[in-house]
Amino acid sequence: GYCGSFIIEDEESPIGITIDDTKPDGSFPAIMGFILTRKAVKLAHLSKEERKKKICEAYAKVTGMEEALHPVHYEEKNWSTEQYSGGCYTVYFPPGVMYSYGRVIRQPVDRIYFAGTETATQWSGYMEGAVQAGERAAREILHRMGRISKNEIWMPEPESK
């Protein structure tokens, strides 16, 4: 079988990155593909059905499976139409930016604390990172209120089960 996660480096393919989005118990098998930057701009003028056709053709070519031409269900999300995210589910920094400035974007300004996924030290850009950042910011606030000590702000994350 296939793992469901792959990278397509074909410039003609609308999809670049695909991840397995199947539920942990194996029910509801799904893959989620990302159309990035210039490819998204290139496909924006097409209808949803035209994009679906191109995407399915790319998956059929990569997997060698004609079944990919006829998905059971298809959803798409255009992040650039989202008011608050402005085009992407996360920010993309050039190499070295987080190493150089990561601490700065996590620093509170007066009573404003930053807890977005981009401020996470692990899994930045993902839900896990958002949770880590939220918990860290909450502990920073608790420290400022005098409820916990400074060395309790950066707690190790528990192992996943």
CATH number of the domain that residue 45 is part of: 3.90.660.10
At residue 59, φ and ψ (nearest 5 deg) are -65, -40
88 found inside a domain: no
Same domain, 11 and 76: yes
Lowest pLDDT segment from 2-6, 43-47, 63-67, 146-150: 2-6
* Same domain membership, residue 72 and residue 125: no
The span from the CA of 95 to the CA of 97, in Å, is: 6
Check whether 34 is labelled as a binding-site residue. Answer: yes
List, in sequence order, every residue forming a beta bridge with 32; answer none if it has no partner. Answer: 19
Residue 87 near residue 94, CB atoms below 8 Å: no
Same domain, residue pair 40 and 65: yes
Does a structural domain hold residue 25? yes
- Which token pair is 43? 């496909």
Q: How many other CB atoms sit within 10 Å of the CB of residue 16? A: 18
pLDDT tens digits along 6-38: 899 998 999 999 999 998 898 888 999 999 888
Q: Is there a binding annotation on residue 28?
A: no
- Give the Cβ contact number of residue 111 at 10 Å: 7
Residue 2 has pLDDT above 80, yes or no: no
- Residue that finishes a domain, picked among 81, 115, 131: 81
Please report, in angstroms and rounded to a whole number, the separation of the first and last CA atoms in the chain: 25
Q: Is residue 1 a part of any domain in this protein?
A: no
Total domains, the chain: 2
Structure confidence at residue 1 (pLDDT) = 59
Are 12 and 77 in the same domain?
yes
* Residue-level pLDDT at 161: 65
Please indicate, yes or no, if residue 141 is contained in any of the structural domains: yes
What is the domain range of residue 20? 6-81
Average confidence (pLDDT) over 145-161? 83
Residue 102 to residue 84: CA distance in whole angstroms: 22
Q: What is the pTM of this model?
A: 0.62
- Same domain for 118 and 66: no
> What CATH number is associated with residue 113?
1.10.10
pLDDT per residue as tens digits for the range 68-92? 999 999 999 888 787 776 666 666 6
